[in-house]
A and B are shown apart, each in its own frame.
Chain A
Amino acid sequence: MAKSADKVAAKAAKKAKKASQPKVSPIKSIQIYLQNNTGKKLAKKVIIGIILYLVLFDLAFVFIYPFLTMISDAFKTDSDLINSTVKWIPTQLYFTNFKTAFNELHYLKFLKNSVLEAFIATIGHTFICSFVGYGFARYNFRGKGILFMGVILSMLVPVQVLVIPLYITFSNWHWLNSWLPLLVPCFFGFGLRGGFYVFLFRQFFMSLPWEMEEAARIDGCGPIKTFLKIMLPMSRSSVLVAVVLSIVWHWNDYFEPNIYLSLSPGLQLLPSKLPEMYQQLAQVAGEAEDVADGVSVVINQANCMAATFLAILPLLIAYMFVQKQFMEGVERSGLTGM
Chain B
Amino acid sequence: MGNNKTKKKGMTMRQRKTLEGLMFISPWIIGALLFFVYPILVSLRLSFSDLENVAGLKMSFNGLENYEYLIFTDTNYIANFLSSVKSTCLNTPIILVFSLIIAMLINRDIKGRGFFRTVFFLPVLLGTGYIMQQLLGTGAGDVVTNSVDGIVTGVLLKAVGATFAGYVQTFLSTITVVLWKSGVQIILFLAGLQGIGASLYEAARCDGATEWENFWKITLPIVSPIILLNFVYSMIDQFTDSSNAIISNINHAILDNAQLDIGAAMAWMYFAFTLVVCGIVLLVMRKLTFNIGER
Contact = CB atoms under 8 A, between A and B. Distances in A.
Interface of A: 1-2, 4-6, 8-9, 12, 23, 52-53, 55-56, 58-67, 69-70, 128, 131-132, 134-136, 138-142, 144, 147, 150-151, 154-166, 168-169, 185, 187-191, 194, 198, 223-224, 227, 248-249, 251-255, 259, 271, 274-275, 278, 301, 304, 308, 311-312, 315-316, 319, 323-324, 327, 330-331, 333, 335-338
B11 interface: no
Contacts of B126: 67, 252, 312
A324 B118 CA distance: 9
A309 B144 CA distance: 20
Given A139-B21, A160-B263, A162-B40, A189 B105 contact: no
A139 B17 CA distance: 7
A338 B229 contact: yes
Interface string B183-194: 000011011101
Contacts of B20: 139, 223
Nearest to A142: B18
B69 interface: no
B125 A248 contact: yes
B117 to A, nearest CB: 6
A157 B30 CA distance: 18
Contact of B134 (A56, A156, A253, A274): A274
B31 A185 contact: yes
A336 B195 contact: yes
B114 interface: yes
Contacts, number: 275
B154 A150 contact: no
8 pairs of A and B residues whose beta carbons are closest in the complex: A188-B31, A135-B24, A139-B21, A5-B154, A252-B127, A165-B42, A165-B39, A66-B140
B27 A132 contact: yes
B171 interface: no
A59 B28 contact: no
Interface centre among B36, B106, B124, B144 (most CB of A within 10 A): B36
Given A23-B111, A59-B179, A301 B17 contact: no
A195 to B, nearest CB: 9
Contacts of B92: none
Nearest to A262: B255
B34 A188 contact: yes
A63 B123 contact: yes
A336 B225 contact: yes
Contacts of A151: 28
A253 B122 contact: no
Nearest to B127: A252
22 contacts: A4-B150, A12-B151, A52-B105, A53-B110, A55-B105, A62-B175, A63-B119, A63-B120, A131-B27, A136-B25, A147-B28, A158-B239, A165-B57, A187-B27, A188-B31, A189-B28, A223-B23, A252-B126, A252-B127, A255-B129, A311-B131, A336-B191
Contacts of B100: none
Nearest to A326: B121
B254 A163 contact: yes
Interface string B72-111: 0000000000000000000000000010001001101011
A6 B123 CA distance: 32
Given A12-B148, A52-B105, A156 B191 contact: no
B153 interface: yes
Interface stretch (B60-68, B199-207, B213-221, B268-276): B268-276
